[in-house]
Structure 1
Amino acid sequence: MNLQSIQAIAFDLDGTLVDSVPDLAASANAMRVELGLPELPRDIVQSYVGDGIAVLVHRSLTADHHGTADDDLLERGFPIFMRHYAHNIANATRPYPETETGLELLKTLGLPLAVVTNKSEMLAVKLLKELNLMDYFSIVVGGDTLPERKPAPEPLRHAAEVMGVPPENMLMVGDSHNDFLAAKAAGCPSVGVLFGYGDMTELSRNEATKPDWLINKLPEIYEQLRGTEQQVSFE
C-alpha cells in the first residue's frame, strides 16, 4: 500500500466507528416481544448485523441468518423495529475507544472523510448526529442512498467522486466481508479493524475479503499516514 497516495478515507459505521449492537438487539427484541416471540441473545443479533436494517429484521424475525420472514410477519414487524430503533438509536451505542481521537487526528491531515454504511442514510445521519460525530464527515452514503449497496463498489465510487478523489486513492476502513469485497471491487485499499464484529482471522484467509492492513485503534491510521515520505507494503 502506497500511503503517499491516500487522499481520502471512508469508514463503515456499525462495528467500525461505533458499537451499535446493544441498541439494535434491544430493538430486535422489542419487536419480537410485541409479536409474541421470545427474545434473542445479543450475540445472535450481532451476527445478523452488516447487511442493512431490512435484512436484520428478516433475520431477527426468523432467528435465522439466511431467513426470510413471510410478508405478513414482515409487515407487522418492520414498523415496530423502526419505531423502537429510531427513538432509541443512541441509548447504549457508543463510539469505540479512541474513535473520536482518531478522527480528530485525521482531520488535521486535511483529508476528507466519509461514512459508507449499509444502514439507511436517514438512520446513519441520525446516529452520527446524536453521537456528535457528524461534523467529521464530508458525506454519508447509506444502504439506500444508491440502487446498490456494499458489497457492490458503487457506494465507494460515489463517495470518492463526491470527495473529488480517484477510488484507488481512498482508503476504506471496515470490519466485515461487505467492506472488503466493496473495496476490492472499487479498487480502494482497505484497513480492517480488529475490535469490530467481523472475524479478521477468518476474513484474512480469503484473498477476496483480506484487508491490506489491520489496526487495533483508529489513531494507528494517522500514525502511518503522518509519515508522508514513506511507502509501506503491508502483508
Structure 2
Amino acid sequence: MEFPRTVLFDLDGTLLDSAPDMLATINAMRESRGRQPMTLAQLRPHVSKGARAMAAAAFPEVDADERESWIPEFLNRYEQELGLHGAPFDGIEAVLGKLESAGTVWGIVTNKPEYLAKRLIPILGWEERCAVLIGGDTLAARKPDPLPLTVAAERLGVAAQSCVYVGDDERDIIAARAAGMPSVVALWGYRLDGDDPAEWGGDVLVRDPDALADPAIWPAIR
C-alpha cells in the first residue's frame, strides 16, 4: 500500500487543536462584558463552525445582529492569541513526516480568513512544507462549496479526483464530495452532540491521527 500522492487538510479541528486560542479570545470578550469565563468543554464543539457559531455559544442571549457587529473584535482579539495556546493534535507531526517521506505533497484548505492562516503557518513551522493554502476569503466561495478544493488541486497541478481531503466538519465532506475528491473524516475534531459523522458520506472515518500513519487506512484514489 502507498500513501496518496496529494493530500489536502482542513486546519482547525483537523491538523490544529486551536480551541485553546479560541477560548482565550472568547473569554477576553466575555470579561470585557462582565461575564464569567467559559470552559474549554463548553466552547470546543463549536470551534469548527467558525467565529459566528462561537460567538453564539458564548453570548446566546445577545441578538444575532449585535453579535455580528462583534465579529471584527473577535478576529482582532484572536489575532493576538494566535498560536499561543493551541498546538497540532498529537500524532499530526508524525503523519506529516510520514507523508513527506513518501513523497506526498500536502496543503491546507480552511475557512479561516487567509491572513490569519498565513500568520499561523510559520508559527507552526509549516511554511516550507505546506504546498498550497486556501483560506475562507481567498476565493469567491468557501466550504461547503467545492471551489476551494478544486482550486487547491489546480494550484498543485493535479485533478481533484487525485487528492484526498481530510476534515472534521460535515461541510468539509460535502465540499469534497462535490469536488469528486475522496475524503477522510477526522473524528478527533470538533463536533456538536447531534452531529453524526457516519451520515456525512465520507470515504473513511478515522478515530485518531496516528491511524493516518498507515497507508492502508487511506481511501483509494478513484
Distance 1:23 1:34 in 2: 17
1:150–1:179 Cα contact (<8 Å) kept? yes
Matches for 1:140-151 after TM superposition, within 5 Å: 140-151=133-144
Matches for 1:106-125 after TM superposition, within 5 Å: 106-125=99-118
TM-fit CA distance, 1:184: 0.6
2:94–2:213 Cα contact (<8 Å) kept? no
Relative to the length of structure 2, the TM-score reads 0.86
Distance 1:160 1:101 in 2: 24
TM-fit CA distance, 1:100: 1.1
1:167–1:186 Cα contact (<8 Å) kept? yes
Q: Is 1:203–2:194 an aligned residue pair?
A: no
What's the counterpart of residue 83 of structure 1?
Answer: 76
Matches for 1:1-235 after TM superposition, within 5 Å: 6-53=4-51, 55-56=52-53, 58-60=55-57, 62-63=59-60, 69-71=64-66, 73-75=67-69, 77-198=70-191, 202-204=196-198, 206=199, 209-218=200-209, 220-224=211-215
Relative to the length of structure 1, the TM-score reads 0.82
1:62–1:69 Cα contact (<8 Å) kept? no
Distance 2:48 2:220 in 1: 30
2:43–2:54 Cα contact (<8 Å) kept? no
Instruction: Sort the Cα spacing of 1:221 and 1:50 in 2 relative to 1 into closer, same or farther, 3 A.
Output: same
Percent sequence identity over aligned pairs: 32
- Whichever residue aligns with residue 14 of structure 2, its letter is T
TM-fit CA distance, 1:56: 3.8
1:52–1:120 Cα contact (<8 Å) kept? no
TM-fit CA distance, 1:192: 1.6
2:13–2:168 Cα contact (<8 Å) kept? yes
2:37 counterpart SS class = coil
* Alignment gaps of 5+ in structure 2: none
| CA-atom RMSD in angstroms | 2.9
Distance 2:63 2:170 in 1: 21
Runs of 4+ that moved beyond 6 A:
none
Instruction: Sort the Cα spacing of 1:42 and 1:145 in 2 relative to 1 into closer, same or farther, 3 A.
Output: same
TM-fit CA distance, 1:225: 6.1
2:46–2:190 Cα contact (<8 Å) kept? no
- Whichever residue aligns with residue 25 of structure 2, its letter is S
